[in-house]
Amino acid sequence: MGTGGGTAGRAGGEENASRVVWDLAWPAVALNALQTLNSLLGAVFLQQMPQAHLTALGSSTTVVFLFVSLSFAIGTAATALVSRAYGARDPVAYTEANRRCLGLSLSLGLALGVLCAVSAPGLAAGLAPPGNTDARGLMVSYLGVFAFGIPAYFVIQVLAGSLRGIGDTRSPMVISGLQIVLHIALNYALIFREVRIGPLVLPGAGLGLVGEGIALSVSAWAAAGVYLVWARKTPFAETGRLLWPGWEWARRILRIAVPAGMMSLVRVTSLMGLTWALSRVPESGAALAALRPAFAIESLAFMPPFGISIAASALVGQSLGMGDADRARRLGWTAAHQAAWISVAVSVALMAFAHPVSSLVLPGQPDVAAIVARYILFICATEVMFSYGMVLVGAMQGAGDTVRPFWMTLGAMWGLRVPLAVALALGAGMGSDGVWLAMSITQVVQGAAAMLLFKAGGWARVNV
């Protein structure tokens, strides 16, 4: 693993901007590719179970996104604070920022884990299709075991965000990559009643969706433990000695994390609104079952830009720490353009093969596969704008500016996406296609708004 990425991340304006971005981005892109494979395999595994398992997973997707996204919010604060101090060559400041963020994140993770477990029945009642008692029961059980792993996600995101802040994207790639491999192996052992390894047939746990949840939590805690051990070999050697943030540090961290968390909350609650709309369309069971595999296939187009956005976040923060706003601006745009080209290439391929790919992932459920294929056609048509929005928002967050992106997201999601989805899906009678069309339109609006905000440059004047 090692922390050699810091040198590339600190390299100044004399280097080619594209090379600087890609040196820091490729490990994150590789990790996200592995995460995409993990999501696809999860959908493939569960499609072999009764449809209620996929329906429950689709109904749970927004809840899982919410809690994982909140852990990303603390990781965003860690990256912004650490990268600024690292760019300013202040090791005392960036090591303290890491420890303060970790102390706060562990407290929040424990509290949110309890909240998820307690609220699971109510969430299932609101998000699973009415009358589908099997899906609702599976959703409650799944969220209960997922809740156990939430504190681990908070630990992971702070340590990964801190490492990226000093230019080390390779360590998170390796550690989180091992987490994904463990998750896949546990999925295979826990979901099915029989596990086939070549000619061997071994007994499995046969837990279905609940097994997937157990695999998610166990692999997360394993990764959190590895991160804590590995951190002692990095500039964050004192990570194991928890340092509670205190009021001043809590204020600094939360000033960045709260708007980022609220932005995540807006995104996820808007997705809950879409889930509610899907639960009311005539094809509700198949539409909800399509959510997880559809997102997994779409991630082939947006995961590389997501990895690039992580690099943009660190590079912009480091550049501002150096006092070089022009470098930050140049690297932000370069990262966005790189992400856009990748997104266009992958999106075109997915649109061309939407039906074969969906049938390959869901060979036993043709009705679900057909909905997934239509989702891909709608969403990938505007995925390039989603990529611009993702990377430029990541760049602004790296500067510590999470307020402007929050208001942009609130307007796009609740001012446009959810009302339009309900109107098209239920009012105009388009069914699930109306939801996909609303999502596609919103991607264009968000991407354009992110471009305007980044060009305006207010993010360069934020004091963290």
Structure tokens at 75: 């990781």
C-alpha closest to that of 6 among 97, 108, 82: 82
Three-state secondary structure of 238-287: CCCCCCCCHHHHHHHHHHHHHHHHHHHHHHHHHHHHHHHHHCCCCCHHHH
pLDDT at 160: 93
Check if the beta carbon of residue 112 is closer than 8 Å to that of residue 67: yes
Residue 403 to residue 388: CA distance in whole angstroms: 18
Q: CA 238, CA 7: separation in Å to the nearest integer?
A: 22
Task: State how far the Cα of 338 lies from the Cα of 340, in Å rounded to an integer.
Answer: 5
Task: Give the separation between CA 71 and CA 193, rounded to whole angstroms.
Answer: 33
Beta-carbon contacts of 281 under 8 Å, excluding residues fewer than 6 positions away, are 287, 425, 426, 431, 432, 435
pLDDT given at position 158: 94
Q: How many helices (H) and strands (E) does the chain have?
A: 17, 2
Q: What crossing angle do the helices spanning 383-398 and 51-87 adopt, rounded to 10°?
A: 40
Is-contact 156 220, C-beta < 8 A?
yes
> From residue 40, how far is each of 55, 266, 350 by CA, in Å?
16, 26, 14
Structure confidence by residue, pLDDT tens digits, 209-232: 889 899 999 999 999 999 999 988
The tens digit of pLDDT for each residue in 342-360 reads 999 999 999 999 999 999 8
- Show the tokens assigned to 387: 């990529």
Of the candidates 369, 37, 36, 48, the residue with the CA atom closest to the CA atom of residue 208 = 48
Q: Rounded CA gap, 358 and 228, in Å?
A: 39
**202 phi, psi to nearest 5 deg:** -110, 150
Q: Which residue has the tokens 């959908």?
A: 43
Residue where the block lists tokens 């805690």: 221
Sequence-ordered alpha helix ranges (H) in 279-353: 284-321, 325-352
Task: Give me the pLDDT at residue 11, please.
Answer: 41
Name the token pair of 306: 């997501």
Whether residue 119 contacts residue 63, with contact meaning beta carbons closer than 8 Å, is answered with no
Please, are residues 293 and 43 in contact by the beta-carbon 8 Å criterion?
yes
Beta strands 194-197; 200-203: pairing state: antiparallel
Give pLDDT, residue 21: 83
- Residue 391 CA to residue 428 CA, distance in Å, equals 34
In terms of Cα–Cα distance, which of 63, 424, 433 is closest to 283?
Answer: 433
Residue ranges in the chain modelled with pLDDT below 70:
1-15, 43, 194-204, 239-243
Dihedral sign for Cα 312, 14, 167, 174, please: positive
DSSP assignment of 103-166 equals: HHHHHHHHHHHHHHHHHHHHHHHHHSPTT-HHHHHHHHHHHHHHHTTHHHHHHHHHHHHHHHHT
pTM, entire model: 0.80
Strand partners, 202: 195
Domain parsing of the chain, residue ranges: 5-461
Looking at residue 194, its pLDDT comes to 63
In this predicted structure, what is the pLDDT of residue 358?
93
Tokens of 355: 């039906």
d(CA 442, CA 158): 30
d(CA 21, CA 30) in angstroms, rounded, equals: 14
| Phi, psi angle pair for 3, to nearest 5° | -115, 25
